[in-house]
Amino acid sequence: MAGHTQTHPPSLAYAVARLISLGVVFHAIYSWSIFDIYFRSPLVHGMTPIKPSLEAPAQRLLLFVADGLRADKLFENRMSGAPFLRDAVLTSGSWGVSHTRVPTESRPGHVALIAGFYEDVSAVTKGWKMNPVNFDSVFNQSFHTWSFGSPDILPMFSEGASDPRSVETIMYPQESEDFADDASKLDIWVFEKFDALFETAKQDSNLDSLLRKPGIVFFLHLLGLDTNGHAHRPYSREYLENIELVDRGVKAATETLERFYNHDGRTSYIFTADHGMSNQGNHGDGNPDNTRTPLIAWGAGIARAKINSGLINYVDAYTSAWGLTTTPRIDVEQADIAPLMSTLLGVPYPVNSVGVLPLAYLAGSEGYKARSAFENAQQILAQYRVKSEMKRRTEPFFRAFQPLHDDEQFLRMIDDEIVDGHYLNAIESSQQLIRLCLQGLRYYQTYDWLFLRSIVSLGYLGWVSYSTLFILRGGIVPLSSTYQKAVEAQKSSNILTIALGTAGFAASSLFLHYKESPPMYYAYLFFPFFFWTMCLGQSKFVLTLLKSITRDRDRLVSTGASIVFYVAALEILVYSYFCREVLSPCLWVLGLLWPRTFSQDLRAKHYTLLRVWAVMCLSTSVFPFLSAEKHENALLVGLGGAAIVASGIFALTTIANYTTSELPKSAGSVTTSSSGGLLAFETVVALVSTLTTIDTTLRLRAKTGLPLLNQGIAWCVLGVAILIPILDGGRRGQHYLRRLVVIYLAFAPVFVFLTISYEALFYFSFSGLIATWLLLERVIHSETRADVPGTDSTATSAVASRLPRNLELSDLRVTAIFLLLSNVAFFGTGNLASVASFSLSSVYRFTTVFDPFIMGALLILKILIPFFLLSAVLAVLARALALPAFALFLLVLATTDVMTLNFFFLVKDHGSWLEIGSTISHFVIASAFIVFQCLLFAASWALVGGVLVPDLETRRWKKRH
**pLDDT higher than threshold 80 for residue 630:** no
**Burial class, 480, CB count within 10 angstroms (exposed 0-12 / middle 13-18 / buried 19+):** exposed
Give me the pLDDT at residue 323, please.
84
Please give the DSSP secondary-structure letter assigned to residue 32. Answer: T
List, in sequence order, every residue forming a beta bridge with 171; answer none if it has no partner. Answer: 149
**pLDDT higher than threshold 50 for residue 124:** no
Element (H, E) at 299: strand 292-299
Give me the pLDDT at residue 305, please.
72
Give me the pLDDT at residue 916, please.
64
CA atoms 233, 235, 237, 239: torsion sign: positive
Give me the pLDDT at residue 63, please.
98
pLDDT digits (tens, 9 = 90+) for 484-515: 555 555 554 578 888 888 999 999 999 999 88
Confidence of residue 588 (pLDDT cuts 50, 70, 90): very high
Which is more confidently placed, 122 or 513?
513
Q: Which of 306, 268, 314, 8 is nearest to 142 (CA)?
A: 268
List, in sequence order, every residue forming a beta bridge with 271; answer none if it has no partner. Answer: 64, 296
Give me the pLDDT at residue 909, please.
65
Q: Which of 235, 282, 288, 274 is nearest to 836 (CA)?
A: 282
Give me the pLDDT at residue 924, please.
75
The answer to whether 104 touches 286, Cβ cutoff 8 Å, is yes
Query: Pairing relation of β-strands 332-333 and 93-99?
Result: parallel
Max mean pLDDT among 152-156, 291-295, 555-559 falls in 291-295
Q: How far apart are CA 617 and CA 776, in angstroms?
A: 13
End-to-end CA distance of the chain: 14
Give me the pLDDT at residue 631, please.
76
**pLDDT higher than threshold 50 for residue 167:** yes
What DSSP assignment string belongs to 601-657? HHHHHTHHHHHHHHHHHHHHTTGGGS-SS----HHHHHHHHHHHHHHHHHHHHHHHH
The answer to whether 141 touches 55, Cβ cutoff 8 Å, is no
**pLDDT higher than threshold 80 for residue 809:** no
**pLDDT higher than threshold 90 for residue 373:** yes
Could you give the dihedral angle defined by the CA atoms of residues 833, 834, 838 and 840, in that order, rounded to the nearest 10 degrees?
130
Mapping DSSP onto H, E and C, the string for 435-493 reads HHHHHHHHHHHCCCHHHHHHHHHHHHHHHHHHHHHHHHHCCCCCCCHHHHHHHHHHHHH
User: 610: how many CB neighbours lie within 10 A of its CB?
Assistant: 21
Confidence of residue 863 (pLDDT cuts 50, 70, 90): confident
Max mean pLDDT among 180-194, 337-351, 590-604, 622-636 falls in 337-351
Q: How far apart are CA 440 and CA 452, in angstroms?
A: 19
- For the segment 52-77, the average pLDDT, to the nearest whole number, is 95
pLDDT digits (tens, 9 = 90+) for 754-765: 998 899 999 999
Q: For the chain, how long is the longest CA-to-CA vector? A: 109
Which is more confidently placed, 342 or 629?
342
Query: Pairing relation of β-strands 332-333 and 292-299?
Result: unpaired
Could you give the dihedral angle defined by the CA atoms of residues 675, 676, 677 and 681, in that order, rounded to the nearest 10 degrees?
100
pLDDT digits (tens, 9 = 90+) for 28-57: 888 888 878 877 777 888 898 998 888 999
Give me the pLDDT at residue 307, please.
57
Contacts of 29 (CB under 8 A, 6+ apart): 520, 523, 524, 527
**pLDDT higher than threshold 70 for residue 960:** no
pLDDT digits (tens, 9 = 90+) for 764-801: 999 999 999 999 998 888 887 655 444 444 444 444 44
Confidence of residue 2 (pLDDT cuts 50, 70, 90): very low
Query: Pairing relation of β-strands 267-272 and 60-66?
Result: parallel
Give me the pLDDT at residue 788, please.
46
Give me the pLDDT at residue 928, please.
74
- For the segment 560-571, the average pLDDT, to the nearest whole number, is 84
Chain-centroid distance of CA 666 in Å reads 49
**pLDDT higher than threshold 70 for residue 157:** yes
Collapse the DSSP code of 64 into the 3-class scheme (helix H, G, I; strand E, B; otherwise coil) and give the result: strand
- For the segment 243-256, the average pLDDT, to the nearest whole number, is 97
Confidence of residue 418 (pLDDT cuts 50, 70, 90): very high
% pLDDT > 90, the chain: 44
Confidence of residue 844 (pLDDT cuts 50, 70, 90): confident
Q: How far apart are CA 117 and CA 106, in angstroms?
A: 14
**Helix, strand, coil content of the chain in percent (nearest 5):** 65, 5, 30
Confidence of residue 5 (pLDDT cuts 50, 70, 90): very low
Provide the H-helix boundaries in 332-406.
337-345, 366-394
Q: Which of 471, 492, 475 is nearest to 484 (CA)?
A: 475
- For the segment 866-892, the average pLDDT, to the nearest whole number, is 83
Choice among 61-75, 335-349, 671-685, 692-706 with the minimum mean pLDDT: 671-685
Dihedral class, residue 364 (left if φ above 0, else alpha if ψ from -120 to 50, else beta) = left
Confidence of residue 956 (pLDDT cuts 50, 70, 90): low
Q: How far apart are CA 287 and CA 105, in angstroms?
A: 12
Choice among 236-240, 285-289, 303-307, 610-614 with the minimum mean pLDDT: 303-307
pLDDT digits (tens, 9 = 90+) for 832-843: 544 444 567 788
**pLDDT higher than threshold 70 for residue 302:** yes
Q: Which of 845, 770, 846 is nearest to 762 (CA)?
A: 770
Confidence of residue 525 (pLDDT cuts 50, 70, 90): very high
**Burial class, 809, CB count within 10 angstroms (exposed 0-12 / middle 13-18 / buried 19+):** middle
CA atoms 511, 513, 515, 520: torsion sign: positive
622 HSE (CA, 13 A, CB side): 15
Q: How far apart are CA 760 and CA 41, in angstroms?
A: 41
pLDDT digits (tens, 9 = 90+) for 181-232: 778 999 999 999 999 999 999 999 999 999 999 999 999 999 999 999 988 8
**pLDDT higher than threshold 60 for residue 877:** yes
Distances (CA, A) of 104 to 276, 294, 417, 833: 8, 14, 40, 14
Distances (CA, A) of 27 to 520, 525, 575, 924, 925: 13, 14, 22, 10, 11
Q: What angle do CA 42, 48, 52 make, to 5 degrees?
A: 105
Which is more confidently placed, 795 or 118?
118
User: 186: how many CB neighbours lie within 10 A of its CB?
Assistant: 25
Contacts of 338 (CB under 8 A, 6+ apart): 112, 113, 114, 115, 116, 137, 138, 349, 350, 353, 355
- For the segment 381-398, the average pLDDT, to the nearest whole number, is 92
Collapse the DSSP code of 38 into the 3-class scheme (helix H, G, I; strand E, B; otherwise coil) and give the result: coil
Choice among 447-456, 637-646, 778-787 with the minimum mean pLDDT: 778-787
- For the segment 801-823, the average pLDDT, to the nearest whole number, is 78
Could you give the dihedral angle defined by the CA atoms of residues 254, 255, 259 and 261, in that order, rounded to the nearest 10 degrees?
10
- The chain-wide mean pLDDT, for the chain, equals 84
Give me the pLDDT at residue 628, please.
73
Q: How far apart are CA 249 and CA 925, in angstroms?
A: 43
User: 554: how many CB neighbours lie within 10 A of its CB?
Assistant: 7
Residue 192 identity (one-letter amino acid) = E
6 HSE (CA, 13 A, CB side): 21
The answer to whether 401 touches 443, Cβ cutoff 8 Å, is yes
Q: Which of 559, 412, 496, 574 is nearest to 926 (CA)?
A: 574
**pLDDT higher than threshold 70 for residue 376:** yes
The answer to whether 142 touches 345, Cβ cutoff 8 Å, is yes
Contacts of 365 (CB under 8 A, 6+ apart): 423
**Burial class, 355, CB count within 10 angstroms (exposed 0-12 / middle 13-18 / buried 19+):** buried
**pLDDT higher than threshold 90 for residue 345:** yes
CA atoms 41, 45, 47, 48: torsion sign: positive
